[in-house]
Amino acid sequence: QKEVEQDPGPLSVPEGAIVSLNCTYSNSAFQYFMWYRQYSRKGPELLMYTYSSGNKEDGRFTAQVDKSSKYISLFIRDSQPSDSATYLCAMSEDDYKLSFGAGTTVTVRA
Amino acid sequence: DSGVTQTPKHLITATGQRVTLRCSPRSGDLSVYWYQQSLDQGLQFLIQYYNGEERAKGNILERFSAQQFPDLHSELNLSSLELGDSALYFCASSVVQGPGELFFGEGSRLTVL
């Protein structure tokens, strides 16, 4: 079993829809939770960063962390074609190593 | 543009060979991380350096080695290459030692034939 599980999709939605992405994990020591976005042929870029449990909102993006269920989510509201990318969850304990999910490929259709 | 520069962008070589990948971090970033991304394994952490010193090691093979130089650029050396080493190798940098925001380069795509 992988430390971080993420459904690779692909996920295809119409423009304006809400995109819902999630990851589960097995390591209860994870405290830092991140979502990265990766466009084709580019490196990942940080979208959201959360410490411990709770919700965080940034514009059209909302990240949720439920440590009791070992489950994190990312919601994208009013999705745009420019949101088409691969979304990777990542998490870390108190040290320096990030464990990434496999990534979910999202396509937003105009 | 993340500010992290990786060279070369593409590299094709044969099994048994040795290659060196180079990374220049963002100006002011002291931490450099190396990750390997393959279709079946996703992004895997290899190694981290902070201000010239090795700070954390992930699933890095013994055939691979890295270092960070006084000017903070880093090199990842891959030797005795195998077909399975074909992957995208990313360098990332950050200001801090711990899990803060990582800025990734565009990667070096290695193909081993």
Q: What is the pLDDT of residue B59?
A: 84
A59 torsion bin: left (phi>0), alpha (psi -120 to 50), beta (else): left
Could you tell me how many CB contacts below 8 A there are between chain A and chain B? 57
Which among A32, A43, A102 is the nearest to B104, CB-wise? A43
How confident is the prediction along chain B (113 residues), in pLDDT tens digits per residue? 889 999 999 999 999 999 999 999 999 999 999 999 988 778 999 999 999 999 989 989 999 999 999 999 999 999 999 999 999 999 999 887 666 688 999 999 999 99
Strand residue runs (E) in chain B:
5-7, 10-13, 19-24, 31-38, 42-50, 53-57, 64-68, 74-78, 87-94, 103-104, 108-112
A43 to B43: CB separation less than 8 angstroms, yes or no: no
B25 in contact with A at a CB cutoff of 8 Å? no
Q: What is the pLDDT of residue B22?
A: 98
HSE of B41, CA atoms in CB hemisphere, 13 A: 15
A43 to B106: CB separation less than 8 angstroms, yes or no: yes
Q: What is the pLDDT of residue B54?
A: 94
Q: What is the pLDDT of residue B99?
A: 62
Given a cut of 50, the residues of chain A with pLDDT beneath it are none
Q: What is the pLDDT of residue A93?
A: 86
Q: What is the pLDDT of residue B98?
A: 63
Distances (CA, A) of B34 to A51, A75, B8, B11: 23, 29, 15, 17
Give the tens place of pLDDT for each residue, A97-108.
889 999 999 999
Q: What is the pLDDT of residue A60?
A: 97
B3 in contact with A at a CB cutoff of 8 Å? no
Amino acid at A89: C
